Structure 1
Amino acid sequence: MSETIALVDDDRNILTSVSIALQAEGFVTRVYADGDTALKALTENPPDLAVLDIKMPRMDGLELLRRLREKSQVPVIFLTSKDDELDEALGLAMGADDYISKPFSQRLLIARIRAILRRTEHAGGGAEGGDLPESADVLERGELNMDPAKHRVTWKGDVVTLTVTEFMILEALAQRPGVVKTRNQLMDAAYQDDIYVDDRTIDSHIKRVRRKFRQVDPQFDAIETLYGAGYRFSEE
């Protein structure tokens, strides 16, 4: 079955051109010109991935993502204004999986979409895994339990809800406790197909993962920063 991509942008030209390009690649598209309409549709009938513009009237993309994350972990790519680092940082901090700056290449957007969808499939099809049996590939590291088949993470028995990108980064760290992973290695784990993201993107995802774990355990310190080197996961 073809994957469904939701496009949310107040620029009708972008909606039309990107929708046509995605359909030519075999995707099903749903388009929305404002955040209010999109929020209801995305929560009631989640797509496989959503592409959100940040700069929209009434409800902007950041507010849309904030409300969406209260109910869904659908993968999200943000479209940001060129050189607007604040938008990018806020989007990642709020749970976006990726961002692309306008003006953008449709070929690049399609490549990013395909990469995230592959990661979603690797992580067990997203957070809506249903009542699948526990996978033989469950990863247990101290108080951490990760089940890729269910896209399910627990810490000390409490569920921690992660986006696809956050899951992939944490899995890369937890697979080899005590081993330092550079930002480039974490980029390779989360962003395949030679898609480049900068250091700030990985750092933002790490900060959000830590914040989510500290919501269930304020003393969480299993992800360590080694300045100038990278990050590592500690079981102790």
Structure 2
Amino acid sequence: MSALVLALAAGAVIGLALGALGGGGSVLAVPALIYLLGFDPVGATTASLVIVTLTSVTALVAHGRDGNVRWRTGLLFAAAGIGPAMLGGALAARIPSGVLTAAFALVAGAAAVRMLRSRPAAEGPVAVRPVRAASVGAGLGAVTGVLGVGGGFLAVPALVGVLGLRMRNAVGTSLLVITVNSLAALATRAGTVQHLDWAVVGPFVAAAVLGSWDGKRLSEKISGNTLQRIFAVLLLAVAAFMLIDALR
């Protein structure tokens, strides 16, 4: 199968995940770029940031229009994560590929377990604690910078389990966090972006953007609790595969 077809197929799936789940795009993009398209781990994390940033902006517009974005909470998360994301991005190139892959798998697995164990958030208004939101946001920013992920697969469980947002609001709000954190991490990798294979990354992005619109429509038809469990099971599967590969 050609690289173009693989890029289009993987991009569509990742866009669907971002649009429906508010995360999961980067946790899928990195292994897709490594195992399907032959990118090295550092190149894959940089390409993933480009793909997820552009796709998240598209999905954010749709969710924001429907009132699913908690802007204050998202901006607190994002602002706290900018510095750590930039620092993590600068450090990423110094970390061995095997360690980077294993760390990615462990973080994804921990987030999945937390989501499976958490209870559905209560309906109605939720009081956001600024200090708590900022501290969690800083941690997400650091993970974004080092692992080359948008942070949505961590932001969604944090917004649901730590701050108590409803799943639909967490999905929309996480897209704001993803966009800002990814842009901050990319700022430290500007020198590596020009070396990406844009014949692969370009179609990947296009398919992901289109897929995000379908994902948004899917999120309107499936309950928040079901979305949370689908997201968690997906993360566990990807984490297990990557950890096994890293330990070989």
Normalising by structure 2, what TM-score? 0.27
Bigger share in helix? 2
Which of the pair has the greater relative contact order for Cα pairs under 8 Å at 6+ separation?
2
